[in-house]
Chain A
Amino acid sequence: MVFSSILFICFFLPVVFISYILASRSLKNPILLLFSILFYAWGGPKFIVAILITTTIDYWMAYLMDKTEKYKKLFLVISLSMNLGLLFYFKYCNFFVDNINTALAWFGIQDALVIPHIILPIGISFYTFESITYLVDIYRGEHKPLKRFWDYLLYILFFPKLIAGPIIRYQEIEHQLTNRFDTDTIDNKLNGLFRFFIGLAKKVLIANIMAEQADKIFALSGSELDTLTAWSGALFYTFQIYFDFSGYSDMAIGLALLFGFRLTENFSNPYTSSSITEFWRRWHITLGNWMRNYLYIPLGGNRVNSKYKLFFNLWFVFLCSGFWHGANWTFILWGAFHGIFLILDRLFLLNFYKHLPKFISIILTFIIVVIGWVLFRSDNSIKAFEFIRTMFEFKISNDFISYFEPKVIYTFAYAAFFSFIWDIPYMKQLQDKILFDPPGITLSLFKTIIGIFIFIICMGALASNSFNPFIYFRF
């Protein structure tokens, strides 16, 4: 069940929310947990038992870690092995088997390894990482384990963030799980509902339109592609992935606010970044934080002796980050590509940007990001390189016009506007005021009217178009 579906918006959400507000304080978490389990069971009925079992094991491992200092490490290793092993099995097994078979085929050995096709449980990448934060933070002694098992289950299974994040560190939500009366306010509910509608609009009114065009262009063969079409496709996808994923995060954050949870922000106007280093502080922030805290810092972080070791660590973290997105060489290449630019930033690019007007560095960074998205979106690495080559070989034709019917032009313009406008002075303050500040009477009325208007238009769009897949649904 995706958030931008009629089932979720018209049926699931009102039922959950009304049940939640009618429930007594002690029943609020069980109600949320019950509906979260139902939410997961709807999309992944075969995996609900598996996730419940692994979550139970994690809870008890954390409990034992806290109780016994002697075997602390052993329990951590067992639970990490289980979580990462499952992630590896479900997400990467097919990939490795395919690659081994391809390599062996060069030596004339056909289909040496045969395994049945493994279906990826939805949200596994997200809840595995969240389980790891809980276990590692307890191992590090940063916090105590939860007293109630149900609260831990709710932390992992809480439906707004279950299948596509944001990835919430346990310590960020720890107190809200047991006591959120300071966040469960009418201001947050108003802001939450408005945020949900904003996310819905990003997904339904912008990302879906961009997706249609991007899909058409990325489906073209190399001979059908020309330079302007390739750039159009890359830009369509650049806006699609941002408005899709940040829209989803907005919906998740908004939904969580409705239930009194304040989740960590996942995006902060990433396309206004003036370097790739800055981009990664603004794009998928919770993944970046996770990678820093649970991979980069354990590898030595910035404190390593050698510059080369530092660069290698940076690059390795981004390689892993790319691989986390999917079991395909294109994702690995995408991670490696960003890793290289992070190293270049440290070597000279950041200094170079300082000598340029800010908007030039924003444009240069944006172009790097766009090229990165081509690697990310392409079906395979050969197609990706072919696509990027076409972007720069000046093969000119006017075929690209066929992807720009009036609605696409306008939507493209809205997408560009809402991607870059926030770098203009005072606009960021305005954005913060609208999204985060407790609204006064006028603003709450204004936001409600705008929200309901967006809701009506999006419902019409959802009913009118059946094309509604989420990019991040399977990651």
Chain B
Amino acid sequence: MNIFKKIVFALSLIALSLPAVETFVKFFKTNKLQGAYFPKNKPMFSDSAWLSNSYQKQAEEYLTDTFGFRNTLIRLYNQIDYDLYKKLHAYDIVVGKGNSLQATTHYDAYLGKLDIPHYNFDSLTFKFKRLQDTLQKLNKFLFFVIAPSKGCYALDKAPYWYNTKKKNKSFYKELTERFTNKNINYLDFNYLFKNNKNKKLFTDYGVHWARFSVVKAYDTLLRFIEHKSCYKNLPILKEYSEKTTRTPHQNDIDLTTSLNLLKPFRYKKRFTECNFLFEKRNEQKVNLMIISDSFYWLLNSYGLAENTMNEVSFFYYYTTVYKNTSVNNISQINLKNEIDNSNVIFIMATLTNLDKPGWGFIDSAYQIYFKNNW
């Protein structure tokens, strides 16, 4: 009997030691975890690091990040939590009503729950308006686009435990009120989307606007430019039809990519795809400059801007600049030249990013045109 117990105990010990062995031997190959995260660096030992406990802290973090079977264990645990409790282990993502995936920061932004530091709205609107008017004299159209937020669009799909009471005045409300009062050009997609809820303009599994919905959104954007600026007869949506599919495009399921489950995520809803044709109505060459968050990637997912405009430069969070086939850091860019070369300029941000409108573009552009002239 003791022999049997010793075997059982030895097996337990082997199980206990396996992760340590696997850490160094790497006998099994596992897939990398999905999503954005910062892997921990191997700490450097020193007397001072040891005495201050920083070495120990870093070493523990490093081991927790690299121990054997880690990725599989995380996927297993995430799967159990999802199957049993509908709980997800991905930053900000929760399971909403109807098994949809929702992002709580978007709800928080819409309901005024984000702890946002004090922002000088007066200075922002003053500078923006002054820039808008100055560029207008140079035949350049500057405006602001508020990208739609799922936090507003799908508030009714929030999980039962999420408190949907409004807390403070949101940045969205504050900015749109001030933009209206100061005659600042802006296009509020959030408002337009909210009033078209029946059209399912967000999928249940994505945080950005649905892929098909950007076609009409882009058409709306062009009509807005035509209406407000000197640029007329821009391309127009000529043909448009929708169809449903069970195979989603990656853009429509972006919330599922960082869930790290053991089994593939099951979609309970169908997705909409569309066929369309934009007709070019004249040979007027319009160059577009866009300062935007990730919503522009979706807006351009069919190559809409690039196929309908003469030249497009995209300033992603005003840090990386994509133009034609080149990618540059903002520090390598001459902003004055870029603005001079552009006809239409817009800043686009969704509700969660309205606390940093333009991410520094407004101040930089203002410096160019009104240096020493406050």
A402 within 8 A of B: yes
Chain A residues near B78: list those with CB within 8 A.
460, 464
Which listed residue (A42, A405, A444) contacts B5, Cβ 8 A?
A: A444
Which listed residue (A43, A193, A403) contacts B12, Cβ 8 A?
A: A193
- The CA-CA distance from A401 to B56 in the complex, in Å, is 39
B23 within 8 A of A: yes
B56-89 interface bits toward A, Cβ cutoff 8 Å, 1 = contact, 0 = none: 1001100110011110011011101100111101
Which listed residue (A11, A15, A45, A463) contacts B53, Cβ 8 A?
A: A45
Closest to A189 in B: B9
**Would A452 and B161 be within 8 Å (CB), given that A410-B84, A441-B5 are in contact?**
no
CB contact list, A458-475 vs B, under 8 A? 459-466
B86–A406 CB distance below 8 A: yes
A46 within 8 A of B: yes
- The CA-CA distance from A444 to B23 in the complex, in Å, is 29
- 7 pairs, A vs B, C-beta closer than 8 Å: A6-B67, A10-B16, A190-B8, A193-B9, A402-B161, A444-B4, A463-B64
**Would A448 and B81 be within 8 Å (CB), given that A14-B16, A43-B56 are in contact?**
no
**Would A13 and B5 be within 8 Å (CB), given that A6-B63, A6-B67, A448-B11 are in contact?**
no
Closest to B55 in A: A45
- The CA-CA distance from A441 to B81 in the complex, in Å, is 33
Chain A residues near B56: list those with CB within 8 A.
1, 42-43, 45
B16–A455 CB distance below 8 A: yes
A448–B161 CB distance below 8 A: no
B235 within 8 A of A: no
Chain A nearest CB, measured from B96 CB (Å): 12
Chain A residues near B89: list those with CB within 8 A.
464-465
Chain A residues near B53: list those with CB within 8 A.
43, 45
Closest to B6 in A: A186
A410–B64 CB distance below 8 A: no
B1 within 8 A of A: yes
Chain A residues near B16: list those with CB within 8 A.
9-10, 13-14, 193, 455
The 5 closest A-B pairs by CB, nearest first: A460-B77, A407-B85, A460-B73, A14-B17, A402-B163
- The CA-CA distance from A456 to B5 in the complex, in Å, is 21
- The CA-CA distance from A460 to B12 in the complex, in Å, is 17
Chain B residues near A406: list those with CB within 8 A.
85-87, 161
Q: Which residues of chain A have a CB within 8 Å of any CB of chain B?
A: 1, 5-7, 9-11, 13-15, 17-18, 42-43, 45-46, 186-187, 189-190, 193, 399, 401-407, 410, 439-441, 444-445, 448, 451-452, 455-457, 459-466
B interface, over-half SS: helix
A11–B20 CB distance below 8 A: yes
Q: Which residues of chain B have a CB within 8 Å of any CB of chain A?
A: 1-2, 4-6, 8-9, 11-13, 15-17, 19-20, 23, 50-51, 53, 56, 59-60, 63-64, 67-70, 73-74, 76-78, 80-81, 84-87, 89, 94, 159-163
Chain A residues near B73: list those with CB within 8 A.
456, 459-460, 463-464
A407–B87 CB distance below 8 A: yes
Other A-B contacts than A7-B60, A448-B11, A463-B74, 18 sampled, CB-CB below 8 A, are A7-B64, A10-B16, A14-B16, A43-B56, A45-B51, A193-B16, A399-B163, A402-B161, A404-B161, A407-B81, A407-B84, A444-B4, A444-B5, A448-B12, A456-B76, A457-B76, A457-B80, A463-B73
Chain B nearest CB, measured from A400 CB (Å): 10
Which listed residue (A10, A187, A399) contacts B67, Cβ 8 A?
A: A10
Closest to A193 in B: B12
